[in-house]
Amino acid sequence: MAAEAKQTCYEGSAVQSFKFYLEQSGEHEAIVRGVHSLLPAEFKRIGEGRSGLDVLGVGSGGGEVDVQMLSLLQSTFPAVPITADIVEGSGELTDNFKALVAKTTNLQKVLFAWHVMHSEDYEKQVKSKGNMKKFDFIHMIQMLYYVNNLADTIKFYHNLLKNNGTLMIIIETAHAGWDTLWKTYKKELCVDAITEYRSSAEVIACLKSQGLKYEEHIIHNTFDITECYDPNSTTGARMMNYMTAKENFHQSFSQEVRAGILDLLKNKCSTVKDGRVLFNSNTSCILVHA
């Protein structure tokens, strides 16, 4: 899970923790494989007959997945001009994204607009201007944990779609590892940046209540958390800090809670294979149609 502290303060040590998690978990690689499987057909459908294509990324982080998607879109429609509006609360991660764009030669013709702000501030800004820019493709990857009102957020961004456009939401799958951990220990974990944990279950309930057409695709991923069970492992300690969104897992909880979390992770959130504990970190890619 992209356990970014609230997007507007996702800097410094929180960024380092997130990068460490990505290195250990392979989450971005799994998501990139998922979008490369799902999006070519979707992009062809969205872009057919368009003279220009407009993309909005919300909570785009360091841009690693965005760059892959924009490259895919451009290779699908090489002669069509593309704009990309990027909404990201972290200045540090936005700088990472800009640096990545600068060295990705095939994206030099894409016209970027950078909005370094929380998604709800972007929403207020757009509404205050009155003339809303519409988009062919909007994506929200691992960011709906941080918004105040899920239903309002989905409704707002869905309203920004052009005819035939798609809103892509990627979020933890219901009943997979993250969902089980954070809902079981809601009282202990949902106290800082995330005050209400959400998975694909809450998102799909919202889509149904708003009468929106969608399809859900599971992106399968597991990662090895065996070192979390070695009290002397620095890697294990850092992983537990990230998974519980705490600076120090061992100091943040009582011995009873720590033991309970570790037991839950092994027995309800993972599979044990050849002595290794493999955490189920499946995500759901939900394509919502205009």
Q: What is the DSSP string of 263-282?
A: HHHHHTSEEEETTEEEEE--
Q: For residue range 126-137, list pLDDT tens digits in order.
A: 999 877 899 999
Residue (of 213, 207, 200) closest to 165 by Cα position: 213
With cut-offs at 50, 70 and 90, classify the pLDDT of residue 9: very low
Q: Would you tell me how many other CB atoms lie within 10 Å of the CB of residue 173?
A: 22
| Structural domains of the chain, with CATH | 7-173+193-222+281-289 (3.40.50.150)
Question: Which one is predicted more confidently, 193 or 267?
Answer: 267
Any idea what the Cα angle at residue 284 is, between residues 72 and 243, rounded to 5°?
Answer: 110
d(CA 211, CA 270): 34
d(CA 146, CA 133): 23
Q: For residue range 33-61, list pLDDT tens digits in order.
A: 999 999 999 999 999 999 999 999 999 98
The residue count for the chain: 290
Buried b (16+ CB within 10 A) or exposed e, 193-223: bbeebbbbbbbbebbeeeebebebeebebbb
Evaluate if pTM is beyond 0.75. yes
Residues 6+ apart with CB under 8 A from 22: 28
Q: Which amino acid is at 281?
A: S
Residue (of 132, 154, 188) closest to 58 by Cα position: 154
Q: Is the pLDDT of residue 23 over 90?
A: no
> What sign for the dihedral angle of Cα 226, 232, 236, 240?
positive
With cut-offs at 50, 70 and 90, classify the pLDDT of residue 7: very low
